[in-house]
């Protein structure tokens, strides 16, 4: 009886502890989404790549995450670290956001901020630019000034604008 | 005869270098007082350059056709068993041939430019001819001294053959289409530079080249679409875009070219953004050259291979001359490029186009930065990194959605300043339609979106940026469909208004009003058609990315499997040896899972391309192929015997003696009667087939809406073609501009 209780308790403990020790399905997906297939086709994650090599790699990583390869189960970070140590940083489908490679992640955001600042500056510049003399070059604008000096919300101007738009 | 073609090709290119050089020099001299009359000579030299380049191309193609394996280029990219279309297509299968094709298009377009401007634009032509001549000189130097296509060696029995993945009929169309796009931008660039040199910075330079610009933009866009389709059906990973450097190289000039096409409208109407327009065409042409540099210099694989490549440094120097030379010229002409009007309101078509431009250029800059980052990283840290799809999608997808929204706003918002009335009249109905679709999609999966919504804010409050973006991604499809419906509604509204006016005034029928309205104002209404095409492409991308499913199954012949709404039967397989490969062709029948109705059958193939340099394998392959009757037992046995032979040879050679490839099987639902499956693909790839038993490992994708990408592409092509057609209204505008210029100069 006590043996049965002990085995039940051991089983319960195992069930509770295993998920902590072993990798989970999330670890498996994280690993195959983060690592690149080394088949040499398009740069694709192991998850996305359709070649036979990716198929093999998925099996290997499944074994590493769940411990079915006979070794200690690993979590996603351990699997990724293993592959990076073996193949270098380029085995990641995108570089880790650390060190110099942080620039790859921040660069577009910095560019975005600079782009927005440039847009604001450009709009301000265009809004404040003076009407130049024609001698500056060959005239390029062909849109007629519709009733200069009359407010844009004037109903007559709006009617004319509407008709011009329809016929344009 | 063989010697003659090689000699003609070789000396043809050499003479083409001389004539191209003369065209540039004579055009420069022709623009000065000393060299009056030389401009015509420069133009004739451009004709001659084209003729000589054409001759060289014919000579190289004939080398492929007669299997002249003394030519190194023919040896590397063809073989005696290569099918005829691929022998011709092998012309652009490698470096030297690609450069020759580029030079052929460049000189051909230069000749066409000269022919179409014989009696006009005489002020701009000398500088434009000099630019085209100068660029031709660069390519002729490459072809004569760096990558000569007529280099020969001792005679060889057979050639290596074209890369198996390039043996696809789309390969016959895709690269030349892309090249037409890349090269075509040279003409507007040449006129842009000519405008700067001559200080004639009005609207003539871009009005003259408007159709050239649309032509190049159309071919580049079509080339990108064809490349995506090729990748989709040939590479067998279920997708069509991988942010590969080669793909990115074509996307970048297309994006800036799109920006240019929109921004010139502001200069036409308001005389604004003159600097920006010249800058955009410089950028577009530079990115076209950069794309070629990127793919041809070896810099993608490594910065070290770039340093050792012949062509890389030459391209880098040329690119530097183009970029810095053009920018210096631009800076020196800034006083001539002052705006003729000011921006009156942020709520105007000008600012809408301005934002559209900034997003397009922003996406191009991001793609450029991310594509070149591995080289930067390797140069700085000494370690290579990979830039795969996730990082590109993270940045570009949100901007693409905003861009889509602007495609609906830009054409309808008023010039100068939008009044409340203009906004109400044009945008209330489309906006309601877009919002309705967005909310409907949210309501279909309330739990998912609610979780994503709360998850986004949780991540935001805990400052976890990556998980926040993961949650935001959930909304992308709904946002894309909402924005897309908004754009479609604006276009429908515009068409209806225009047609109603015609129907009312001219008493025309709906069909007549529709066609005449487009014909009378091709530029405007064809532009709307292009927008519709882009929206449909966006729908395809959103649907196939968000709802794609993937399954992998091991099946015996005769086995069944359920995949999503499909029931699949693996009917069997056959072995064959054709052209230059052996293949295991699997045959499947697909049924509707619910009703059991047969939907169709697909064939998917796993191929091995034997290395013809291995004598034993070559002989065995040719012997098997010679028996060539499918279903004949001796034939199938001899093909089956090739598999163990390959295995044995690989064991003894200790290297691969075959190149594998797959032919994807696709069951496309492209009939409107396909119901909810409309636009969907059932996509099968055999990962491995046992030649003895037929047991096969299948990877199956169900790609909803993926065909919308190709439908949208077709609409894009139709719209672009209409807008390229000659337009009397545009011609009158150009003539008016020229008359104004003549008066101004006089």
Question: pLDDT-based confidence at A146, cuts 50/70/90?
Answer: very low
pLDDT in tens, B412-424: 887 777 778 888 8
Same-domain pairing of B348 and B440:
no
Whether residue A136 and residue B362 make contact (CB cut-off 8 A), yes or no, is: no
pLDDT in tens, B164-196: 777 777 778 888 999 999 999 999 999 999 999
How many residues does the structure list for chain A?
A: 168
User: In the listed set B386, B418, B449, which residue is the last one of a domain according to the structure?
Assistant: B386
Q: Is residue B730 part of a domain?
A: no
Copy the structure tokens of residue B614: 């291995």
Between chain A and chain B, the number of residue pairs with CB atoms below 8 A apart is 206
CATH number at residue B37: 1.20.120
Same-domain pairing of B382 and B430:
no
CATH number for domain A14-98, candidates 1.10.3430, 1.25.10, 1.10.8, 1.20.1280: 1.10.8
Mutate to test the interface with A, among B255, B267, B339, B554 (most CBs of A within 10 A): B339
What is the reported pLDDT for B562? 94
Q: Is residue B721 part of a domain?
A: no
Chain B: nearest CA to A72, how far in angstroms? 27
pLDDT in tens, A70-105: 788 888 889 999 999 888 888 998 888 888 888 888
Cα separation values, B5 from A158, B15, B68, B79, B102, Å:
70, 15, 10, 19, 20
Q: Which residue has the higher pLDDT, B462 or A157?
A: B462
Q: How far apart are CA B131 and CA B367, in angstroms?
A: 28
Whether residue A126 and residue B339 make contact (CB cut-off 8 A), yes or no, is: yes
Same-domain pairing of B163 and B187:
no
Q: Is residue B80 part of a domain?
A: yes
Q: How far apart are CA B626 and CA B128, in angstroms?
A: 57
Q: What is the ipTM of this complex?
A: 0.71
Q: Which residue has the higher pLDDT, B346 or B277?
A: B277
Whether residue B386 and residue A92 make contact (CB cut-off 8 A), yes or no, is: yes
Whether residue B270 and residue A49 make contact (CB cut-off 8 A), yes or no, is: no
Q: Cα Rg for chain B, rounded, in angstroms?
A: 28
Q: Which of A32-41, A85-94, B20-29, B119-128 has the highest mean pLDDT?
A: B20-29
Whether residue B267 and residue A136 make contact (CB cut-off 8 A), yes or no, is: no
Q: Is residue B248 part of a domain?
A: yes
**Does the structure show a pLDDT above 60 at A134?**
no
pLDDT in tens, B262-272: 999 888 888 88
Q: B323-337, B374-388, B531-545: which has the minimum mean pLDDT?
A: B374-388
Domain range holding B44?
A: 1-167
- Chain A residues in contact with B273 by the CB 8 A cut-off are 126
Give pTM, 2 decimals. 0.87
Whether residue B237 and residue A42 make contact (CB cut-off 8 A), yes or no, is: yes
Whether residue A137 and residue B741 make contact (CB cut-off 8 A), yes or no, is: no
Question: pLDDT-based confidence at A15, cuts 50/70/90?
Answer: very low
Q: How far apart are CA B277 and CA B339, in angstroms?
A: 12
Mutate to test the interface with B, among A138, A139, A150, A159 (most CBs of B within 10 A): A138
- Chain A residues in contact with B661 by the CB 8 A cut-off are none
Whether residue A55 and residue B416 make contact (CB cut-off 8 A), yes or no, is: no
Q: Is residue B741 part of a domain?
A: no
- Of all residues in chain B, the one with the smallest CA distance to A102 is B377
Segment B40-47 shows an average pLDDT of 95
Whether residue A50 and residue B389 make contact (CB cut-off 8 A), yes or no, is: no
Segment B479-501 shows an average pLDDT of 94
CB-nearest to A132 from B273, B338, B414 is B338
DSSP output for B436-476? HHHHHHHHHSHHHHHHHHHHHHHHHHTT-HHHHHHHHHTTH
Same-domain pairing of B419 and B562:
no
CB-nearest to A126 from B202, B343, B369 is B343
Chain B: nearest CA to A139, how far in angstroms? 6
> For B432, phi and psi rounded to 5 degrees?
-60, -40
Q: Is B741 helix (H, G, I), strand (E, B) or coil?
A: helix
Same-domain pairing of B12 and B45:
yes
Whether residue B237 and residue A129 make contact (CB cut-off 8 A), yes or no, is: no
Q: How far apart are CA B75 and CA B65, in angstroms?
A: 12
What is the reported pLDDT for A4? 56
- Domain segments of chain A as ranges: 14-98
- Of all residues in chain A, the one with the smallest CA distance to B745 is A138
Q: How far apart are CA B382 and CA B573, in angstroms?
A: 49
Q: Which residue has the higher pLDDT, B20 or B609?
A: B20
Same-domain pairing of B244 and B347:
yes
DSSP output for B73-115? HHHHH--TTS-HHHHHHGGGSSHHHHHHHHHHHHHHHHHHHHH
**Does the structure show a pLDDT above 70 at A22?**
no
Looking at every residue in chain A, the average pLDDT score rounds to: 71
Q: A158-162, B197-201, B342-346, B449-453: which has the minimum mean pLDDT?
A: A158-162
Mutate to test the interface with A, among B164, B204, B388 (most CBs of A within 10 A): B388
Q: How many domains does chain B have?
A: 4
- Helix A76-87 × helix A25-34 angle, to 10°: 30
Whether residue B384 and residue A89 make contact (CB cut-off 8 A), yes or no, is: yes
- Chain B residues in contact with A101 by the CB 8 A cut-off are 377, 381, 385
Chain B: nearest CA to A154, how far in angstroms? 9
What is the reported pLDDT for B233? 86
Whether residue B242 and residue A42 make contact (CB cut-off 8 A), yes or no, is: yes
What is the reported pLDDT for B660? 81
CB-nearest to A137 from B199, B370, B381 is B199
Chain A: nearest CA to B381, how far in angstroms? 8
- Chain B residues in contact with A91 by the CB 8 A cut-off are 386
Same-domain pairing of B88 and B180:
no
**Does the structure show a pLDDT above 80 at B496?**
yes
Q: Is residue B728 part of a domain?
A: no
**Does the structure show a pLDDT above 50 at B163?**
yes
Copy the structure tokens of residue B43: 């133009």
Q: Is residue B725 part of a domain?
A: no
């Amino acid at each position: 009886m006590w043996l049965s209780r002990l085995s039940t308790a051991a089983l319960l403990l195992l069930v509770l502890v295993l998920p902590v020790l072993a990798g989970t399905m999330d670890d498996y997906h994280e690993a195959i989404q983060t690592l690149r297939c080394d088949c040499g086709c398009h740069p694709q994650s192991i998850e996305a790549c359709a070649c036979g090599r990716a198929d093999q790699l998925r099996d290997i990583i499944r074994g590493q995450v769940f411990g079915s390869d006979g070794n200690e189960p690993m979590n996603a970070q351990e699997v990724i670290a293993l592959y990076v140590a073996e193949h270098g940083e380029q085995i990641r489908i995108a570089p880790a956001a650390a060190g110099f490679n942080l620039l790859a992640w921040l660069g577009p955001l910095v560019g975005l901020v600079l782009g927005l600042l440039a847009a604001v500056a450009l709009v301000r510049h265009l809004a404040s630019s003076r009407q130049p003399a024609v001698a500056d070059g060959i005239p390029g604008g062909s849109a007629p000034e519709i009733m200069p000096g009359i407010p844009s919300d004037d109903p007559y101007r709006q009617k004319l604008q509407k008709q011009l738009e329809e016929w344009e | 005869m063989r010697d003659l073609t090689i000699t003609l090709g070789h000396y043809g290119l050499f003479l083409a270098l001389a004539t191209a050089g003369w065209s540039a020099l004579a055009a420069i001299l022709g623009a000065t007082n000393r060299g009056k009359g030389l401009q015509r000579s420069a133009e004739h030299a451009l004709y001659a350059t084209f003729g000589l380049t054409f001759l060289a191309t014919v000579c190289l193609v004939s080398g492929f056709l007669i299997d002249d394996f003394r030519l190194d280029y023919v040896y590397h990219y063809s073989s005696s068993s290569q099918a005829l279309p691929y022998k011709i297509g092998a012309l652009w299968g490698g470096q030297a041939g690609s450069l020759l094709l580029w030079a052929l298009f460049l000189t051909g377009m230069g000749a066409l430019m000269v022919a179409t401007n014989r009696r006009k634009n005489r002020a701009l032509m000398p500088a434009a001819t000099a630019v085209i001549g100068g660029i031709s000189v660069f390519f002729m130097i490459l072809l004569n001294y760096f990558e000569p296509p007529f280099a020969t060696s001792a005679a060889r029995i057979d050639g290596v053959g074209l890369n198996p993945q390039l043996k696809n009929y789309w390969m016959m169309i895709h690269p030349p289409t892309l090249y037409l796009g890349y090269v075509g931008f040279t003409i507007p660039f040449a006129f842009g530079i000519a405008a700067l040199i001559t200080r004639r910075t009005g609207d003539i330079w871009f009005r003259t080249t408007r159709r050239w610009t649309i032509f190049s933009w159309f071919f580049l866009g079509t080339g990108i679409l064809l490349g995506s389709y090729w990748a989709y059906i040939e590479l067998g990973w279920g997708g069509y875009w991988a942010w590969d450097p080669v793909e990115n190289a074509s996307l970048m000039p297309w994006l800036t070219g799109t920006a240019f096409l929109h921004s010139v409208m502001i200069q036409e109407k308001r005389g604004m953004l003159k600097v920006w327009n010249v800058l955009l065409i410089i950028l577009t042409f530079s990115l076209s050259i950069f794309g070629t540099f990127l793919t041809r210099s070896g810099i993608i694989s490594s910065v070290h291979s770039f340093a050792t490549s012949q062509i890389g440094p030459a391209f880098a120097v040329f690119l530097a001359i183009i970029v810095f030379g053009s920018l210096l010229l631009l800076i020196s002409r800034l006083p001539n490029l002052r705006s003729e009007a000011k921006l009156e309101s942020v709520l105007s078509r000008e600012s809408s186009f301005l934002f559209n431009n900034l997003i397009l250029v922003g996406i191009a800059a991001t793609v450029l930065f991310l594509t070149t980052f591995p080289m930067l990283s390797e140069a700085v840290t000494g370690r290579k990194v990979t830039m795969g799809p996730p990082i590109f999608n993270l940045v570009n997808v949100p901007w693409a959605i905003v861009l889509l929204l602007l495609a609906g706003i830009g054409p309808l918002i008023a010039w100068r300043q939008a009044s409340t009335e203009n906004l109400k009249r044009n945008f209330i109905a489309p906006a309601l339609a877009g919002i309705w679709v967005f909310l409907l999609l949210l309501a279909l999966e309330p739990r998912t979106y609610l979780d994503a919504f709360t998850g986004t804010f949780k991540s935001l409050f805990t400052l976890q940026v990556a998980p926040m973006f993961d949650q935001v991604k959930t909304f992308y499809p709904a946002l894309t469909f909402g924005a897309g419906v908004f754009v479609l509604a604006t276009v429908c509204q515009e068409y209806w208004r225009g047609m109603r006016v015609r129907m009312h005034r001219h008493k025309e029928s709906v069909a007549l009003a529709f066609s005449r309205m487009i014909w009378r104002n091709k530029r405007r209404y064809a532009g709307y058609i292009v927008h519709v095409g882009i929206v449909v492409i966006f729908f395809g991308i959103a649907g196939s990315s968000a709802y794609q499913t993937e399954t992998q199954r091991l099946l015996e012949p005769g086995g069944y499997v359920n995949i999503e709404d499909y029931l699949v039967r693996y009917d069997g397989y056959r072995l064959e040896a054709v052209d230059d490969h052996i293949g295991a062709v699997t045959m499947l029948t697909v049924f509707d899972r619910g009703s059991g109705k047969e939907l169709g059958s697909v064939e998917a193939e796993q191929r091995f391309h034997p290395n013809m340099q291995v004598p034993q394998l070559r002989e065995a392959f040719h012997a098997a192929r010679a028996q060539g009757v499918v279903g004949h037992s001796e034939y199938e046995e001899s093909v089956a015997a090739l598999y163990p032979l390959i295995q044995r040879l690989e064991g003894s050679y200790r290297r691969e003696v075959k190149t594998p490839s797959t032919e994807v099987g696709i069951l496309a639902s492209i009939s409107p009667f396909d119901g909810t499956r409309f636009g969907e693909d059932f996509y099968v790839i055999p990962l491995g087939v046992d030649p003895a038993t037929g047991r096969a490992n299948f990877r199956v994708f169900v790609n909803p809406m993926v065909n919308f990408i190709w439908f949208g592409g077709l609409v894009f092509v139709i719209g672009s073609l209409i807008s390229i057609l000659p337009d009397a209204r545009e011609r009158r505008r150009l003539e008016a501009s020229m008359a104004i210029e003549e008066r101004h100069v006089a």
